[in-house]
Chain A
Amino acid sequence: MTGNQSGALRILLIDDDEAVRQTVGMMLSDAGYEVIEADNGKSGLREIESRSPDLVISDLIMPDMGGIEAIQEIRKMQPGLPVIAISGGGRTSNYEFLDIAEKLGANAILAKPFDPEEIVAAVERVRRQ
């Protein structure tokens, strides 16, 4: 992963929860990354085509295409694009969804709620892979 023209890694953050996008987006920006956002899997795929992110962080439970389907499509479009799956906004345990995401090739999984350092650490880990 080499980053875009400015040198900063471009991360696409896909989550239907605006509060999550703001909080996680701020954490990543503070860590020196360029962040672009999408609020569901469909618009996320459009951003991948038009903005060529270097890494994708995707929630799994979203309307109008969730993260599992989005990861399946990403693996067809750009098999090598790193993906971090995040989940945990529902009332029940979402570890089963995270397991599925891993099976589909997510490079890392993270259960919500997580500390700011955890998401930044996950990005660093995936960059080094």
Chain B
Amino acid sequence: MVLKRAMELFGSRADPAPAPRKRRHADPAQQLSGNEPSPADPDLSALENALTKISQGRTELVTGRVQLLKFDRLRKRFGSKWDRLADRVLMIIQMAIGRRLADDDVFIRHGDLGFIILFASLSQEQAELKCALIADEVAKRLFGSDVTSDDFEIRTATTTVDGRIALQRADNLEDLLAEMAAQLDKTDVEFVTDPQTEVEDGSGIDNEQTEMSALAYRERTPFKASDLDYVFQPVWDVSLKALSTYGCMPARRENARILALGEAAIPNDLLPLEMLELDRAVLRTAVSELMLALDLQRKCLISIPIHYSTLGSAQRRQLYLSECRDLDDSGRTLLLFEIVGLPDGVPQSRLMELSVSLRPFSRAVLARCLVDENDFQKYKAAGITAVGFDASAGAYSEAGLMKEMEKFVERAEKHGLQTYLLGASTLSLNAAAIATGVTYLTGPAVTSVTDQPKNAVRFNLNDLFGIPT
């Protein structure tokens, strides 16, 4: 059992959890004595008994460290929509918890919307505050508003006078939330989106920038755009037989060696505001190079990825597109946007909204999908010009990918869409892509990345296979 194993691990530590200090507004009458079972909740009593048994007399392992975070009250807020949204809500809660935990922390689900969290190294106050932050993030993602004590309940493991474990309700939730608000460095920018959209498409909103300056015990270093390099990968227009487009993308380099490129270079736990920062850095690099290319009369197009989480919020989208305002019409006709990270089953209306927002600043809008995407009608209707997929992203063998690619291209072409393939690292996959009719190819097997886009050059099959002419 996870709880038992976690206790064993905690038991091996030299120090027990720091002793909880008295709450500021603790009501002595509410403290449990040995004769008071947890009221009116048999599940809770059963959990308390289990914790008492597992702790095997070493209640200091549990006290303050174990928190029960319950979201059952959310069900009422959703009303009749609950059945449809339950799975997504659960996913959002679990993700919010997972993001806050350190490597040694553990959480398990308890009941429908309860979570037992074991914090390895936090004091009771810190653990409660962390639970409040989790609840706040969940409330923002689901409802676009700050959390209130109506939405959740925190219970903390405490030791009764007769040595039992009791899960005592944190009766100072309002103080906890006030303390959290006081610690956060609020900015002027409020990120609010339509709550229903947040749940349905999972993009979520976070007042991340306000959190970045808080909390001495946060477990991750904030991402900075300067953590990565920004390079250009040539894109081969197969039908025109030319390398005429350069895809700007992030890269992780060590000395001169590229360790990871594109999505693989991006940390997988970026918060939405960090992703915005990354997307803006790519855009700034691309726009700067585009303006230089125009000055030098270089002929090339530049494509840049933009993540759905950046586009999905009106405020973040606006901040992003403000970087394009310096680009005049001649520059805009040389820019391509590629939307990356679209959620599964994204509605056509949403796709259209995103495409329409980007088109005034670009020559065309592309969309990266999964290779088994089969609803291309909506992409065409939304004004997307080309759809593509990343060969390095999936779990297919090369033979399997070739079969899927053929179907992908056939489906896309039926709706008048061009196609592109990224990340193919073998000549055989590129050859299959050409034979299948993919319009654009880019990846290490085509040609290497450069630090700057260059003039368009001829590129044909001989060049692909390194055959001298």
Q: Which residues of A contact B (CB under 8 A)?
A: 16, 40-41, 60-66, 68-69, 72, 87, 89-92, 94, 96-97, 100, 103-104
Query: For residue B436, which residues in chain A have a CB less than 8 angstroms away from its CB?
Result: 90-92
Query: For residue A66, which residues in chain B have a CB less than 8 angstroms away from its CB?
Result: 427-428, 431-432
Q: Quick one: closest A residue to B469, CB to CB?
A: A103
Q: Provide the B417-449 mask, 1 if CB < 8 A to any CB of A, else 0.
A: 000000000111101101111000000000000
Q: Quick one: closest A residue to B430, CB to CB?
A: A66
Knowing A69-B427, A91-B437 are in contact, say whether A100-B461 is a contact too (CB < 8 A). yes
Q: How far is the CA of A100 from the CA of B435 in the complex (A)?
A: 14
Q: How far is the CA of A93 from the CA of B432 in the complex (A)?
A: 12
Closest Cβ of chain B to A87, distance in Å, is 8
Stretch with Cβ within 8 A of A (4 or more), from B14-22, B95-103, B147-155, B398-406 = B398-406
Chain A CB within 8 A of B467 CB: yes
Knowing A96-B461, A97-B435 are in contact, say whether A65-B406 is a contact too (CB < 8 A). no
- Other-chain residue from A63, A72, A87 in contact with B428 (beta carbon distance below 8 A): A63
Chain A CB within 8 A of B134 CB: no
Query: For residue B432, which residues in chain A have a CB less than 8 angstroms away from its CB?
Result: 61, 63, 66, 90
Q: Quick one: closest B residue to A89, CB to CB?
A: B435
Query: For residue A90, which residues in chain B have a CB less than 8 angstroms away from its CB?
Result: 406, 432, 434-437
Query: For residue A69, which residues in chain B have a CB less than 8 angstroms away from its CB?
Result: 427-428, 465
Q: Quick one: closest B residue to A104, CB to CB?
A: B467
Tell me the dominant secondary structure on chain B's binding face: helix
Query: For residue A91, which residues in chain B have a CB less than 8 angstroms away from its CB?
Result: 406, 409-410, 435-437
CB pair B462–A63 under 8 Å, yes or no, is no
Chain A CB within 8 A of B397 CB: yes
A sample of 7 inter-chain contacts (CB < 8 A) reads A64-B398, A65-B426, A66-B427, A66-B432, A89-B435, A90-B434, A92-B436
Knowing A68-B465, A91-B409, A96-B461 are in contact, say whether A62-B428 is a contact too (CB < 8 A). yes
Q: Quick one: closest A residue to B435, CB to CB?
A: A90
Q: How far is the CA of A89 from the CA of B406 in the complex (A)?
A: 11
Closest Cβ of chain B to A37, distance in Å, is 16
Query: For residue B410, which residues in chain A have a CB less than 8 angstroms away from its CB?
Result: 91
